[in-house]
Chain A
Amino acid sequence: RKEVEQDPGPFNVPEGATVAFNCTYSNSASQSFFWYRQDCRKEPKLLMSVYSSGNEDGRFTAQLNRASQYISLLIRDSKLSDSATYLCVVIGAGNTPLVFGKGTRLSVIA
């Protein structure tokens, strides 16, 4: 089983739609969680960290479910500019590096 798993998509949604991505992780001792965004042929950039209590940044909401070992990202009122690949990132216990999922591709259509 991969350490971090995501549905690769693509998710094709109309403008204004709400879309949710899930990500599961295998290491129950994992400590930190993030969502990164990667535009086509560009480098990944941090979108938001994911905290146990859940956190919101504008139209984006991230949640963590430690019991089920999954992380979610909800995007409300999708914009064309949200089209990108969303990478789930996990840091395990101890001094371990960032581990990336394969990414979920989102296309927002006019």
Chain B
Amino acid sequence: EAGVVQSPRYKIIEKKQPVAFWCNPISGHNTLYWYLQNLGQGPELLIRYENEEAVDDSQLPKDRFSAERLKGVDSTLKIQPAELGDSAVYLCASSLDGGKHTEAFFGQGTRLTVV
């Protein structure tokens, strides 16, 4: 069974440019998360979807970040314009549902470098 698939794996862009990340969760998983991870830190939640509804986006910097999950399956995360401080690994995860004991599976992440 395919796991969570993210693309691209790596992205280098100049500051002020836009960038987009794509995530395909495990088939049948209703809950999708986008996390940001800086070096030496744990993942920090950006946004969580239950099907196509964003149920937790309080940590998403909405002035430059946007996300969507059309049809409750694939999701994209966009940054426009990118800043130097956005350099990090962007992790997508999915779980069967948002239940308390449901394991979250992570994709390999997109490593973003803003120069």
Which residues of A are interface residues toward B (Cβ below 8 A)? Answer: 4, 8, 31-32, 42-46, 49, 87, 91, 95-103
> Can you give 15 contacting A-B residue pairs, CB < 8 Å?
A42-B108, A43-B91, A43-B107, A43-B108, A45-B106, A87-B43, A91-B100, A95-B55, A96-B56, A97-B45, A98-B45, A99-B45, A100-B44, A103-B40, A103-B42
Does the CB pair A102–B100 fall under 8 Å? no
A63 → chain B, closest Cβ, in Å? 17
Chain A contacts for B96, CB-based, 8 A: none
Measured in the bound complex, the distance between the Cα atoms of B45 and A32 in whole Å is 17
- Size of the chain B interface, CB-CB below 8 angstroms: 21
Contact B56 A97 (CB under 8 A): yes
Interface presence of B104 (CB below 8 A): yes
Q: How far is the CA of A91 from the CA of B55 in the complex (A)?
A: 15
Cα–Cα, bound, A75→B114 (Å): 39
